[in-house]
Structure 1
Amino acid sequence: MKPRTLRRHFRESFKNLRRNGWMTFASVSAVTVTLMLTGIFLVIMLNLNKIGTDIENDVEVRVHVKLETTEAEKDQLKAQIENLPEVEGVEYSSKEQELQNLINDMGSDYTLFEQSNPLYDVFIVKTARPQDTPDAARKIEQFSQTEKAVYGEGKVENLFSFMKTARNIGMILVAGLLFTAMFLISNTIKITIFARRKEIEIMKLVGATNWFIRWPFLLEGLWIGLLGSIIPIAAIAVGYYYAEQEASERFASHFIDFIGYIPLIVPVTLLMLVIAVFIGIWGSFISVRRFLNV
């Protein structure tokens, strides 16, 4: 495309935005509303996914070693555990360390057990994938030196099932919001282009090519998408700044960690820009196509 032709398309796109002020406002408003809903839901889903992933990664198997096990047998048990394909790491905690941890967590009343420690030596096992925890625990329980392998049986499986369902529902809802946004915006732009169908017909009759007619409308869609993304991006950027600070302070005692401001806002902002531009251009492309067959 020649630079002069490109400049002409840019001028026409800006001129048409001004000429069809109310329809431009309607299209920009449609982008703003749908993108705001999509952005808010996306921020919520990303944080819920991080919290779920953190909880899943905290799942571990605590292997209680039989009381009569010798040091050599403990080394053998550790080697057996490390050789399991599901296992990523193994840490040893003696029963003295376990009692000290119990005293630190529950209070000095448990110092009474220092003279006769009833606890077990423990291997703390982390799996490469949290979902492999139940399988690893069942295999470890078969080893002769294992008293029992504890990992929160029942609750862990329910957690994994809930998180899988929540992620799937989240993906479906985000896809649904994006589809709704594309439908609303393309129909709003279609109304704008319908009002100018005579202009398209005249240009076709005087010999203009489809792409010569199409370019100004695609650029209009681009500007509509960019204009519609300004308010949602600004609102989410400012809102999440204060929401993240407030939520971090409120849930700090519950060990819930939210995504940091910059690591979340930068990719979400870029994603919202891409979505807005794509929806604007795609809406214009689909809407103008039906009027090019004169």
Structure 2
Amino acid sequence: MIRTFFKHLWQSVKNLRRNGWMTVAAVSSVTITLFLVGTFLAVIFNTTKLATDLEHNVRVSAFLKVSVHDNDEEIADPNDTSKMIANPDYHKVYDEIEKIPNVTKITYSSKENELDKVVKTLGKEWKMFTGDSNPLYDLYLVEADKPENVKSVAKAIGKISGIYRADYGGTNTEKLFRLSNVIQTWGLGGAALLLFVAVFLISNTIRITIMSRQREIQIMRLVGAKNGYIRWPFFLEGAWVGLIGSIAPSILIAFLYRISYVAFQKSLAQEELYLLNPTSFVPQIIGLMIVIGVVIGSIGSIISMRRFLKI
């Protein structure tokens, strides 16, 4: 059994060399298709990851009114601004937010902190708005126990006295979720279509090589060779085509993904969004592409052989 397998394996390699241009054509079709499939899969997987991160990172931004100093334990005395007195309304808004059902975490961020984030994201020219020129608001970042409860939490916070506005992204966040679903659906459909085209191209290419060896197949059948014995070299030939065709796109996808990761991750991290780490994702996508290449090559070979093995 093992001896026969290696015999067929060697025969498949000889067939590839014998049909040089046909092999190049089949490998080229696999290479182009797998590059497109790999690109689609990388986009789909990362879109799914970002959508999941976004869904779990949706928080309510509760902006405090300018006159409200909810997080200051001491405030300037209204009668004498040179003196500091205890804030009678300290954490009044905070306590109201804490009472809202489904709230799990409340984090305070001053308008100075918010301006620092803007400077890091948009550039140092925004430093001109420091001090009294700062147009931003102090705010509470409020997290809910489940993403589906964020909307109701935002609505409840918006009714609290001292809150200027409660925002959770609203329509924009929902649009991002819908866009993510569209990309995943159509991306998977496109990848499936590309795989079908690849199987079709490979089966037709291998069929041409089989037609040129039709007489050889007929002789083998006349001497009593079983279909399985005849099919094995061609099956392995298709697998070789898929394997060889997956090498170039695997290397290219790995290279381009690492570049893309470095280019986009820094800006995404500021929003607490993360692409799939290349250390783990690149080996996975390469392994997946190799498996897909071998499978579609083998399937293409089986499809092309069916016609010639009918009694």
Question: TM-score, with normalisation over the residues of structure 2?
Answer: 0.73
What is residue 280 of structure 1 aligned with on the other side?
Answer: 297
What letter corresponds to residue 91 of structure 1 in structure 2? I
* C-alpha displacement of 1:9: 1.4
Secondary structure, counterpart of 1:291 in structure 2: helix
Q: CA 1:159 to 1:240, structure 2 compared with 1: closer, same or farther past 3 Å?
A: closer
Identity of aligned residues (%): 38
State the partner residue of 2:105.
90
Quote the RMSD (CA, aligned, Å). Answer: 3.7
Is 2:113 aligned against 1:101?
yes
Q: Counterpart of 2:98?
A: 78
Match of 2:231 in 1: 214
1:290 is paired with a residue whose SS is: helix
1:124 maps to a residue whose letter is V
The alignment partner of 2:58 has SS state of: coil
Q: Write out per-residue CA displacement over residues 178-232 of structure 1, whole angstroms, 9 at most, x where no aligned residue.
A: 2211221122112222222222222222222221111111111111111111222
Name the structure 1 match of 2:83: none
Q: Distance in 2 between matches of 1:14 and 1:113?
A: 74
Paired amino acid for 2:25: A
1:4 corresponds to which letter in structure 2?
A: R
Q: Which residue of 1 aligns with 2:143?
A: 125
- Trace 1:3-18 onto structure 2 (pairs within 5 A): 3-18=2-17
Matches within 5 A, 1:200-279: 200-245=217-262, 247-248=263-264, 258-279=275-296
Contact 1:62 1:125 in 2 (8 A): no
Tell me the TM-score normalized by structure 1: 0.77
Q: Deviations over 1:71-121 (max 9, x none)?
A: 58854642433xx3xx6x32242xxx534434645658664499xxx9676
Contact 1:31 1:225 in 2 (8 A): yes
8 Å CA contact 1:60–1:127 kept in 2: the answer is: no
Please state how far the C-alpha of 1:37 moved relative to its aligned partner: 2.3
Query: Where do 1:152-171 residues align within 5 Å?
Result: 152-171=169-188
Q: 1:152 to 1:69 in 2, by over 3 A?
A: farther
Q: In the alignment, what sits opposite 2:200?
A: 183
Q: Distance in 2 between matches of 1:143 and 1:109?
A: 29
